[in-house]
Amino acid sequence: MTFSAQILRTSAIAILAVAGMSSAYATPIDPAITVAVAVEPDSLDSCDTQPAQNANIARGNIYQSLTHVKPEDGKLEPLLAESWSQTGDLVWEFKLRPNVKFHDGSAFDAKTAAANVMRTQAGFEIDGKATACLNSGQIPEPVQAEAADDLTLRVTTTHPDPILPLRFSYIDIGGMETQKTAQKTTRPVGTGPYRFVERIQGQHIKLTRFDDYWSEAPQVKDVTYVYRSDPAVRAGMITAGEAQIATAISAQHATKDDRTVEFKDNRIVLYRLRHDKEPFVDPRVRQAVSKAIDRDTLVEVLMGRTGGPWYQMLGPQVNGYISNFDSSSLSFDPDGARELIAAAKADGHDVETEFLIVTKTDLFPGSNEFVQAIAQYLQEVGLKPRILSIEMTAWRTYLRQPFPEGQQSNMLMISHDNTSGDASFSYPRYITCKGTNSSTCNTEVDRLIKEADAAQADQRAQLYQEAAKILHLDEMTMEGVAEQVQLMMLGRGINYKPNPLTGIEILISDVTVTD
Amino acid sequence: MVTFLRGRLLSGAVTLIGVVVMVFFLARLTGSPIDLFFPEGGTEAQIRAFEQAYGLDQPLYKQFLIFLGNAAQGDFGDSIWQQRPAMEAALSEMPMTLALAGIAMVVSVVTAVILGSIAAAYRFRRPDRIITILSLIAGSVPVFWFAIVSILIFAIQLQWLPTSGSYSWKSWILPVATISLSPIGVLTQVVRGAMIDVLTSGYVRNARARGFGSLRLIFRHSLRNAALPIIAVAGDIAASKLNGAVIVSVVFAFPGIGRLIVGAIMARDFPVLQASIVLVGLAIITLNLLIDIIYMIVDPRVRLS
Amino acid sequence: MTLATEKQTNRTFVYSERWQMFFASPMTVAAATWLVFVILVAIFGPALVGDLANKQALLMRFAPPFQLEKGFQFILGADSLGRPVLLQLVMGAQTSMLIAILSVGSSSVIGSTLGIISGYFGGWVDNILLRIADIVHTIPSILLALVVLFILDPSITNLVIVLGITRIPVYLRTARAQTAEVRQRTFVEVAQAMGASDWRIMTKEIAPVVIPTVRTLAMLEVASVILAAASLTFLGIGLQRPTVDWGMLVADGQAYLETAWFVAVFPGIVIVLTALSASLISNWLRAVEDPAQNILFLSKPKKKRSESK
């Protein structure tokens, strides 16, 4: 009896030990995770993946695109297209990946790809009904897409467009059913590793692993997305174990351990000055604005690990970024700023005109304080700012051309991201005379950008950078203040390495779970 | 009774139409959804397509007539953002709103009647003082602050309750507590005031002289007579819970039409806004009708008016 | 003895009675003291404090409270921009008091006047007023706020307009319900039989009965108005810095509850204290003006009463 009891005890210990080992090291089979995001997606249609809240869920999980930007180096890599080439000035051919299946069982082919490209820019084309796709802005000049054969997509552009393959990294491919109708789909069908299960609006979206996925099957089986607008709640859900991944975490809720991970997505906090209105008419005043702001202190104190001081409009991975930029003429020097303002005043400029600092509450977490601090810096050099913090639609009346008659002189706060790596997604809109979001008009800048748009590779980058130099050193209408760093929180046992594209695609296939 | 009901239904319809007209035009004063739909600025053709898809290309008065004509047939148009009919979106949020508002009102009224009556019975003595202070504090605590603090304490520190969502009965506790807090404070004061009025009026003093005990007096005779102002205030609070409770549903991610309405206002999703308002209007009108009926039951004299 | 002297003794009696009741309740004294203090701060504080309140010092960010070495203004700590919380409260006092008094004042006066008219006359007047109240009550206040603050400017005046309009129906319904009930009472019927004018009956007979209820409500509304203003700020359609009100301080501070509790907690305490005081004063007034109640009010501190005898 003693003996058998001994055996029992030993084996019990052994079993416990084994159980303990396995729970410490083994990877669970088919784990389910919950992801807490800040904003509910508006649409799950493949042609609406432009806004981050839609892309966060749909891109790369449900839908895939023909090409993809490699997060590590910003280079283009094949995805649903295996290769591509320019066969004429205006013509491109994409060789598509064979044996790819949609979630509904249908095969992916050139016809479907062409239909997606056409529907994204549809307008009135389908059924005579109007379709307005959020991705339409990714193809600013109309293109024609057709199937050359089963697996060859031929695309004809209106103007030479060297970065068409890059643009196609933003065109997500949905199943043929959806492409036939002007109506946006609520039951998305794509080729990605996860297929749509259900969506209860206002509550959650559920995805599950797609068994016929063309590439390697991911570890996580079920994903539930929930929306929590308060950052404290999102962080709390990780602590309480209710969620395994939480996005958009504020600096004050971040933990110091490796559960809080960070990434940069080439997002810059900018200000834009109305150069046509006093007090900003004289470039010296615009320079003084930049010199008045102590970016180092401001960003360190108010943004902590979520930001770093910045002087340009674009992030370091974009080809319009100037790598050896000399920012000394723009950096903090309040006395210099006062001298510049005094000189402008002496030349008859009305530097004491009151102007608005226009911002919106959700520019970034804590942005209202950030803007108040900027206002104080400007006051200290003798300018007369007044803060106007408004909601999105009102803010846009300040962003967009044409500016309403009689709009007060202003300094507009913008948070701009460029995940494509190409300045053509930023400069033409923001710093050319005809740009919809531009208050800059410099003929030399316009010329350089127009030339760059048609140029390739190094030459393209160089032209953009020359335009940027004029913008930042002569025009000074659009200057960076801070480079943003995004925070995410991970639950226990969750491994995920965020990358520069995490802001627009959180690939659940990159997530691994250990127990 | 039938004429009464007919009159109430008629006035309800007038209110509803008034609300719809006001909301239709007020909403359009806040700008257009186009700006939000084309974040980077669409082409001329895209913007035209969008306007046509949602009937925004027509002059305002025409849009209004089209809207009225369709609404009369029960068609409130499609949501601009949600890819489903606006009415469907509004209807899906309604059950939770009604449940949350109903539970919160029952909790508030019951608590307030008990606390208020005790306070009135012991007026100007210690129990009254304690109840008064507590109820006044309850009425003045910022709601979002209470919501966040209760999540920090009960969900994150103690982990007794979920932080948010609406999955089990546990997830109802914090939202109900949060939206009942201020009504309990307000109603307790109203109950106390009304009860003191009744208790100090002549006939109750007569009853007391005839030897009725204090608490029995309160629940048998006084509550009924103090009911009118209580019902009036409770009704107003209930109505505000039907289209309010925004902060609760935002912080706790609890479904509700209040959140849908705020979202629709911010996103300029006019069809959803209009459909939601019609539903909320209907609910409020039904509520008012109920209040009137309760009035009649409580105080037969009201029937005359 | 002339009639005049008799009246005068009567009045002195009433006054002394009131004051006796006032001092009999330490809570009422404390509440009145706090309110007077807040109003004095609201009137004179901002001028005394000047630019110091909005002076940011980033290096003082979240300086902890109850420490004197950084100067007395930092006794309640510093906010996220290093502004002294104490002085922010002083500035906020003016805005919050202005918003609360103007919007509660206007909505309660307009609302209860309309309510009495509605309840007294009944019929189509009642119908129209009630319909308008219902319409206003059903429209989401956030929509109204967005329209007003979108088209006009986010200023204190416009905020008062929005908050005032949205709260009118509450008073209207309350006053109307009581009026409808009071109208049936004998003293009103007697007055009507004696040929008193409608105006006279409404102001002399009905209003005194309705006012205490409205006042109880109005005093409680002080807090909700301050908080409603904060919610609007929260949604990005409220007041603009450097103007501050207490609700805004709570809203701004609540993001930092875990790291710097005092930024949101002190303004919260001030709001609660002020609302509490307003209501206590309202209770006192109510007791004083109701002859049946003031006996009870006084009968409580029995010892004191016998002492004073």
CATH number at C96 reads: 1.10.3720.10
> Do residues A448 and A374 share a domain?
yes
Helix axes B126-140, B170-200, angle to 10 degrees: 130
Contacts of C237 in chain A (CB under 8 A): 390-391
- Cite the beta strand spans of A214-259 per DSSP E: 222-227, 245-246
Give the separation between CA B104 and CA B184, rounded to whole angstroms: 10
Average pLDDT estimate for C149-172: 84
Give the C-alpha separation, A100 to A108, whole Å: 5
Query: Domain of A1?
Result: 1-26
| C229-243 pLDDT per residue, tens | 777 776 667 788 888
Q: CB–CB of C255 and A231 under 8 A?
A: yes
Q: How many domains does chain A have?
A: 3
Domain membership of residue C277 (yes or no) is: yes
Cα separation, B144 vs B179, whole angstroms? 10
A165 and A272 belong to one structural domain: no
pLDDT at A8: 45
| Minimum distance, in Å, between the CA of residue C163 and any CA atom of chain B | 14
Q: Does B127 touch chain C (CB under 8 A)?
A: no
- Residue B274, Cβ density class (10 Å: 0-12 exposed, 13-18 middle, ≥19 buried): buried
B144 with C254: Cβ contact below 8 A: yes
Q: Flag if C217 and B233 touch (Cβ within 8 Å).
A: yes
| CA A119 from centroid of its chain's CA atoms | 23
The answer as to whether C12 is a domain residue is no
Looking at the partner chain, which of C139, C250, C293 has a beta carbon nearest the beta carbon of B200? C293
CA atoms of A46 and A133, how far apart (whole Å): 9
Same domain membership, residue A286 and residue A382: yes
From first CA to last CA, the distance across chain C in angstroms is 26
Q: What is the pLDDT at residue B220?
A: 63
- What pLDDT score was predicted for residue A124? 61
Query: Is C300 an 8 Å CB contact of chain B?
Result: yes
Note the pLDDT of residue C236: 63
Residue C118 domain-assigned (yes or no): yes
pTM for the model stands at 0.85
Would you call the peptide bond into A28 cis, given omega within 30 degrees of 0 as the criterion? no
In total, the C-beta contacts within 8 angstroms joining chain A to chain B are 126
Among chain B residues, the shortest Cα distance to C269 is held by: B141
Number of domains in chain C: 1
Q: Indicate whether A112 and A16 sit together in one domain.
A: no
Helices and strands counted in chain A (H then E): 14, 23
Report the pLDDT averaged over residues C100-109.
92
pLDDT of residue C302: 37
Q: Is residue C15 part of a domain?
A: no
Q: pLDDT below 70 — which residues of chain B?
A: 1, 39-43, 201-222, 243-244, 299-305
What whole-number distance in Å separates Cα of residue C62 and Cα of residue A74? 40
Output the tens digit of pLDDT for each of chain A's 515 residues: 444 444 444 444 444 444 444 444 567 888 999 999 998 898 899 998 988 899 999 999 999 999 999 988 888 999 999 999 999 999 999 999 999 999 999 999 999 999 999 988 866 666 666 677 888 878 888 899 999 999 999 999 998 888 899 999 999 999 998 888 888 888 999 999 999 999 988 889 999 999 999 999 999 999 999 999 888 889 999 998 999 999 999 988 998 898 999 999 889 999 999 999 989 999 999 999 999 999 999 999 999 899 999 999 999 989 999 999 999 999 999 999 999 999 999 999 999 999 999 998 888 888 989 999 999 999 999 999 999 988 888 888 899 888 888 899 999 999 998 888 899 989 998 999 988 899 999 999 999 999 998 888 899 999 999 999 999 999 999 999 999 999 999 999 999 999 989 988 999 999 999 97
Find, among B109, B10, B60, the residue nearest to B270 by Cα: B60
Segment C66-71 shows an average pLDDT of 83
Point out the residue among A252, A301, A372 whose CB comes nearest to the CB of C259.
A252
Rounded to 5 degrees, φ, ψ at A224 are: -120, 130
Q: Chain C residues with CB inside 8 Å of A372's CB?
A: 56, 81, 241-242
Cβ–Cβ under 8 Å, residues A514 and A25: yes
Q: Is A162 helix (H, G, I), strand (E, B) or coil?
A: coil
Give the pair of three-digit tokens for residue C69: 């070495």
- Cβ contact A229–B250 (<8 Å): yes
The C-alpha atoms of residue A432 and residue A399 are separated, in whole angstroms, by 14
Q: Is residue A191 part of a domain?
A: no
Q: How far apart are CA A341 and CA A383, in angstroms?
A: 9
CB A409 within 8 A of CB A353: yes
Going from N- to C-terminal start, the domains of chain B cover: 1-305
Q: Which of C27, C127, C271 sits opposite B140 (nearest CB)?
A: C271
CATH of B1-305, one of 3.40.228.10, 1.10.3720.10, 1.10.760.10, 3.10.20.90: 1.10.3720.10
- Assess whether A288 and A169 both reside in one domain: no
Which residue in this structure is represented by tokens 């003798």? A382
Nearest CB among B15, B30, B143 relative to C227 is that of B143
Domain with C173, as residue range(s), is: 38-297
Q: Is pLDDT at C296 greater than 70 in this prediction?
A: no
Mutate to test the interface with A, among B32, B36, B40 (most CBs of A within 10 A): B40
C-alpha A363/C-alpha A379 separation (Å) is: 22
pLDDT tops 60 at residue C267: yes
Q: Do C138 and B239 touch (CB under 8 A)?
A: yes
d(CA A454, CA A82): 25
The DSSP secondary structure of A275-343, one letter per residue, reads: TTSTTSSSHHHHHHHHHH--HHHHHHHHHGGGEEE--SSS-TTSTT--TT---TTTS--HHHHHHHHHH
* Mean pLDDT value across residues C86-94: 92
From the list B15, B148, B196, the residue facing C134 with the nearest CB is B15
In a mutational test of the A interface, the residue from B164, B246, B251, B276 whose CB has the highest number of chain A CBs within 10 Å is B164
Interface test with B, best of C116, C126, C134 (most B CBs within 10 A): C134
Q: What is the pLDDT of residue A259?
A: 92
In a domain, C248, yes or no: yes
Whether chain B has a CB inside 8 Å of the CB on C111: the answer is no
**Does residue C130 contact residue C176 with C-beta atoms inside 8 Å?**
yes
Which three-class secondary structure state does DSSP give residue C60?
helix
In this prediction, residues C281-302 reach a mean pLDDT of 57
Residue A385's DSSP bridge partners are A355
Q: Do A388 and C146 touch (CB under 8 A)?
A: no
Mutation site for A-interface testing, chosen from B78, B156, B276 by largest number of A Cβ within 10 Å = B156
Q: Does B119 touch chain C (CB under 8 A)?
A: no
Residue A54 lies inside a defined structural domain of this protein:
no
Task: Flag whether residue B141 sits within 8 Å of chain C, measured between CB atoms.
Answer: yes
Contact list, A45 vs chain B (CB under 8 Å) = 83
* End-to-end CA separation in angstroms for chain A: 38
Residue A90, domain CATH: 3.40.190.10
Contacts A398 to C, Cβ<8 Å: none
B268 vs A50, A201, A393: nearest CB: A393
